[in-house]
Each structure stands twice: as C-alpha cells, then as structure tokens.
Structure 1
Amino acid sequence: MFIGTIWVLFQRNISRAANRRMVTVACSLLLFSTAHLIIDTIRTEEGLVQQRSTFPGGPTAFFSDVAQWSFVYKNLLYTLQTLVGDGVVIYRCYVVWQSWYIIIIPCMLWCSVAATGAGCVYSISQATINKENIFAPGTGPWITSFLAATLFTNLLSTSLLAYRIWSIGRRVTNVALATGLMWPILRVILDAGVLYSLSLLAALSCFIAKNHGHYIVLDMIMPIISITFYMVIIRIAITKNSSQASEDHSRSLSNYLARRSRGRISYVDPQQCPMRRMEVHITQLTEHEIDPGKLRSSNDNNPPGMSSPNFVAKFDPVAI
C-alpha cells in the first residue's frame, strides 16, 4: 500500500507542496510501522529465547515488565505514529473547510494526545513499583487518557470532514446530479474513520476492563494507522480514474454523434457506441454574488427544472 500510495502521489497532478507533505507522511508512517515490527520481533526473541531461563519469573514476568526498553520504545513509536495519523486527519479537515476556526477544537485535542502520550511513555519508563502491572495507578490513568483523547480527536475530525463533503455534495446537486466523484470520496473517508475508531474503541474497552487483549489490539493499531492513510489516497485515485475514463468515453461519444449529424458518418452501431451518463466532476466550492436580474435572464435559457449555478468547484481530493 505504501508503494501504491507513492505511485499515486507522483502520478497525480497536484501541487508540489501538497505532494511533498503527503510523501513525507507516507514515509514516516512506513518508518514507524517497520521500526515497531522490528522491536516486536526483538522483544519476542529476548523473552522466549535469550532470557527464557535467566529472567526472574520466566517469559511471563518478562512480558509483564513495562519498564523493559523494548516496551518503552514500542509505546514511543505508537505515540509518534498516533500523532502523525491524527494530524493528517486534522489537516484534511482544514483542506476541505479552508478555515482555521473549524480545527481549533481538533488541534486542542491533538495537543492533549501529545501531552498524554508523553506522560504514558515517561510513566512507563520510570515504573519501579508494580512495574509488572500496566494497570497500576502510575501508568493506567495516563494510558486511558491517551486512548480516549485520540479516539475523540479522530471522531471529531472525521465527522467534520465527512459533513463538509456531504454538504458540498448537497449544494451541487442541481448542477451535477448524482456526481460520480463526491459520494465515493465520502464513503472512503468514512471507511477509514470507522476502521480506526473501532480499533481505538476496542483498545480502550479492553484497557478499562483490565483485559490483556489490549496488547494485541495496540499492536494491530500500528499498521491500521498506516492502512487508513494509504487507503484514502489509493481509493480516491481509483475513483478519479474511473470517473475520468467515463468522462472521456462520453466526450468521444458526443464528438462521434456530432460528426454523424453533419453527414460524415452514416451509421452508428449501438453495440459499439453505447450510451452512458455524462458525469460532472466538482473539485472546489467557491461562492460569489450574482445579480438577480442576470440570474433571471440566465434561468430563462436553462431547461425546465434547472437553475443557474452560483458556485464552482476546485479541490483535488488526492491532495487530502
């Protein structure tokens, strides 16, 4: 998915700054996920092979010791990856809304994620009493606060992003009925948000219930953060390519029929030239004032049931 994301980013015609940011994020997520997997492998080998007979209490005590360097660094990488993932969702929200006021609360929540994440790593590294119990008062509240903060941050940012795309889709319905790009983007955004939110909810629920299954869920969340980022870019690119192919087909069909009407083509084979719905692609919403007199005269020339649009679109979804 990382390779596919990089290929899409370099193939799409988006701004150099946006492309550079997305490539940096993709590489960072790959680096954190890979480092986390390497540390997990080392930790497993140490607990089950190297220190199996020498560590007091055996493998069970080794993997329960939260002060082990491998466990501390695992949590540090998870905190960094969470900050990057949540930051990307907030950035996408800003790109769609184009307003700093909208992301004030998500940014405050992101700061709380950073603060509680730092508290988690520090409390784990300094654990001396009850270090074999991650639910102890010295570490448990920090981890609970961290998981709750990142869950709320993701839910709020994803909701704002989805609402903005949905509202734009409703406002452009009169101009491009059943547009072939807006609603698939909304589904992609919601899929990514739901996948990540459910993972966080499972981890938080396990930790509150003092169930050790949260270890498994947290190890799963690391690649899930990367997957949710990659899948948005790849799936939107696939949607845009499909829409572009349909648009090119419709344009070719229109030119074909136009030449036929001028007598250059005498016969149209329905099997070779099937009719398809023409799609209009919306890329950015821009509002502006319209003179009512001009609007009335313009509407006189429109087909019944259609009104003159007072906005156009212009944002590249792959850039988000």
Structure 2
Amino acid sequence: MSGLPLDLSAVISTTLEGILYGFSIFMFGVTLHILRENSRRAGRETNYKMVSLSVALLIGSTVHMIIDFIRACRGLVLKRESYPGGPIAFFTQPSEWTFVAKNAVYTVQTLLGDGILIYRCYVVWQTWLVVAFPILLWFLSAASGVLAVHSVSVLPFGIGTVFLTSVRRWITAFFASTLATNFSVTILLAYKIWITDRRVARMRQDSLLPVVKVIADAGVLYSVTLAAVLGCFVRNSNGQYFILDLICPIISITFYMVIIRIGLAESQRSSEFGSGSGLNSGLGTAHRRTSFINGRGRAAGQRDQAVPMNRLPVQVHISKVCETDAATLENELEGDTGSETDRVRDQKTTGLEVHDVV
C-alpha cells in the first residue's frame, strides 16, 4: 500500500476540507440571494425546492466536516497513546465509528447531488426515457454505497482494510457508478441545451451556450475529483483518503456554482436593459435560461418559438376594380346628367386585393 502516511493525510485533508467548507458556506449565502432575486424579477414566489436542496447539501457537508474534525482529534490527540498501534493504526482501521459515519454521510451527500443532477436533466428533456439510464446508475450507486458502508463496519479490529476484496468491490462499484452518472447526465444536459440553442438561433438575439459552459465546468470539476479518487483506490493508494474528504464540499460547491454563475450573468444582462421593452426582454430571457435550475418551465425544445409580429414591417396595398354597364357609359358619352345616385347604383364592385409585403 503506497501513498501518504494516514496521520499526515488526515491533517492535510481536514485542513483543506475546512477551507472548501468555508467557501461553500459563502456560496450558499450567495445562492440564496440569487434564488430570491430571480424570483423577484420573475414576479413569482421563491423556489423553496431549490432552497431546501441547498440547505440539505450544506447540512451534509457540515456533518461530514464535524465528523472529520472529531476523527482528527481522536486519532491525533485523544487516542494517540491509548489506541493500539498509535495514530496510523487508528486511521487505518475502517470499522472505527468515525470512519463509518463519515462514509455514510458521504454516500448520502453523493446520492443527493446525483439526484439533483438527474432531476435537472429531466426538467430540460421533459421525458423519463432520456434519464432512465442515469436513474438506473443512481440505484446502482445507492445499493453499492450501502453495501460498502456495511462491509466496512463489520470488519474485525486490527485486520481490516478498505482494500480487502470483500470491501473493495463495493467501493469500486460505488465510485464507478456515481462517476458514470455524473458524466452521462452532464453530457445529456449540455447536448440538449446546445441543440435547442441551434434550433432557435435565428429567432432570438441571446445564446444559451454560456449555460452549456457553466454545466460543463461543474461536471468536469466533479468528474475529475471522482476519477482521481477512483484511480487512487484501484492502485491501493492512501491518496484516496485525502481526496475523499474533499468531495463532500465539492458536491455542494458544484451545485451552488451553476445557480450563481447563471444568476449573476442574467443580473448583469438585465441591468443592460434598464428601461422599456429591453428590460422585459431581458427578464424573460433570464427566466427561460434559468428555469431548469429552479425546477420549473417547459421542455427546452418548446421555448422561444414565437416571433414578435408587432416588430415586422408591413405594407398594405388595396386596389379596387369597378365595372360600369353599357347604358351608363352611353348616357355619359351623350352628356347625360343623371343623378349621382343612379351612377353609383349602376356600378358593381368586382374585386379586392390585399398584398402584404414584409
């Protein structure tokens, strides 16, 4: 088994997790502000579903941070002399209750983050068929995660390690399935928004490509982290302990990042249309562009299909063709001064043309 000493890894990983956790708290506050402002501009109530999910992710990363802090204190200070084998043996033992608890919290946090991503994909595609495979992967992640936590908790004291075959297979399955879920859903989201942007490109002035970039950035950040921890684990490296502690706050950060970046971009765009119809247009675009984040709206392919006809230049030409009978014409040629009423009565309207030139 190669990699960092576990006691040193615990110190470094807990410190970095604390930094990321503090950053996630800041992003949580900004996320709540963005959700409130987007709702105010759109003239609707705050989306409490997204608020609840944001709070749930913060709670998960908070509990994980607390457990890691307790684990570091127990292994490096409280149990330093009394634990058989010292700090390294303490951090090596998988069935130690702090290790089991932190992995249980990580499993729940991962399933929650992946579930949110799948729900966003459904909102954009508006069909369960597209997300059927990611949902299957999600259930595989849930089953393998529960089995991994259970298999770790029952390992005998002193001979246990996460690299044993009975534990290794479930942990590998969990990492692989959640990585596949995140990668596939990110591709589906980016592809749907991209093809929708191409389909309506001629009917709108703005572009959805920045949304694709935000989703891709968040997906790449999380996928790279999962790939790193999976690579360390299959190589029996202690580096997987180091990276694993950073994933919980990263899950929260990637969720907040999508809402914040799109929300700030739309706030800036709305400020550029500070008056008149430009403001209304900007707000409407903001609502359409962020509807999948807030869990509302129609399918992406059904958006922005209408063309504002009141802005199209139209010219109308009306021509009137009249026909006069022979008797009237003869009277006129002979100088007949009959009444105007008789002449009008003898006239017959035979056609009407309307030409619209755009």
Same-fold call, TM cutoff 0.5: yes
State the distance in 2 between where 1:233 and 1:28 align: 16
For residues 50-70 of structure 1, the C-alpha deviation after alignment (integer angstroms, 9 at most, x for no partner) is 111111111010000000000
State the distance in 1 between where 2:261 and 2:274 align: 20
Q: 1:15 to 1:64 in 2, by over 3 A?
A: farther
State the number of aligned residues. 269
Q: Secondary structure at the match of 2:47?
A: helix
Computed over aligned residues only, the root mean square deviation of the Cα atoms, in angstroms, reads 2.8
Q: Are 2:137 and 2:177, in contact at CA under 8 Å, matched by a contact in 1?
A: yes
Shift of 1:75: 0.3
Q: Are 2:203 and 2:304, in contact at CA under 8 Å, matched by a contact in 1?
A: no
Shift of 1:287: 7.6
State the distance in 1 between where 2:139 and 2:65 align: 27
Kindly report which structure 2 residues correspond to 1:294-309, keeping only aligned pairs within 5 A, or say none: none
Shift of 1:23: 1.0
Q: Which runs of 5+ in 2 are unaligned?
A: 1-26, 289-299, 316-358
**Residue 116 of structure 2 corresponds to residue 98 of structure 1:** no
State the distance in 1 between where 2:97 and 2:44 align: 40
Of 56, 73, 76, which aligns to 2:101? Answer: 73
Kindly report which structure 2 residues correspond to 1:1-320, keeping only aligned pairs within 5 A, or say none: 1-13=27-39, 19-128=47-156, 131-177=159-205, 179-180=206-207, 182-248=208-274, 281=285, 283=288, 284-286=300-302
- Code of the residue aligned with 2:302 in structure 1: it is T
State the distance in 2 between where 1:95 and 1:135 align: 39
Q: Secondary structure at the match of 1:67?
A: coil
Shift of 1:243: 1.5
Q: Are 1:127 and 1:138, in contact at CA under 8 Å, matched by a contact in 2?
A: no
For residues 174-199 of structure 1, the C-alpha deviation after alignment (integer angstroms, 9 at most, x for no partner) is 1124x25x111111100100000000
For residues 148-202 of structure 1, the C-alpha deviation after alignment (integer angstroms, 9 at most, x for no partner) is 000000001111001011011111111124x25x111111100100000000000
TM-score, normalised to structure 2, is 0.70
Q: Are 1:117 and 1:142, in contact at CA under 8 Å, matched by a contact in 2?
A: yes
State the distance in 2 between where 1:289 and 1:4 align: 33
Which structure's relative contact order is higher, taking Cα pairs within 8 Å and 6+ residues apart?
2
- Code of the residue aligned with 1:169 in structure 2: it is D
State the distance in 1 between where 2:122 and 2:188 align: 9
Q: Are 2:182 and 2:219, in contact at CA under 8 Å, matched by a contact in 1?
A: yes
Q: 1:131 to 1:142 in 2, by over 3 A?
A: farther
State the distance in 1 between where 2:214 and 2:75 align: 40
State the distance in 2 between where 1:146 and 1:152 align: 10
Q: 1:243 to 1:287 in 2, by over 3 A?
A: closer
Q: Which has the larger radius of gyration?
A: 2
Q: Which runs of 5+ in 1 are unaligned?
A: 254-277, 291-297, 303-320
For residues 117-163 of structure 1, the C-alpha deviation after alignment (integer angstroms, 9 at most, x for no partner) is 10111001111277442100121111000000000000011110010
Q: Secondary structure at the match of 2:201?
A: coil
Shift of 1:10: 2.0
Q: Secondary structure at the match of 2:226?
A: helix
State the distance in 1 between where 2:44 and 2:96 align: 43
Percent of residue pairs identical: 43
Q: Secondary structure at the match of 2:165?
A: coil
Q: Are 1:109 and 1:149, in contact at CA under 8 Å, matched by a contact in 2?
A: yes
Q: Are 2:93 and 2:161, in contact at CA under 8 Å, matched by a contact in 1?
A: yes
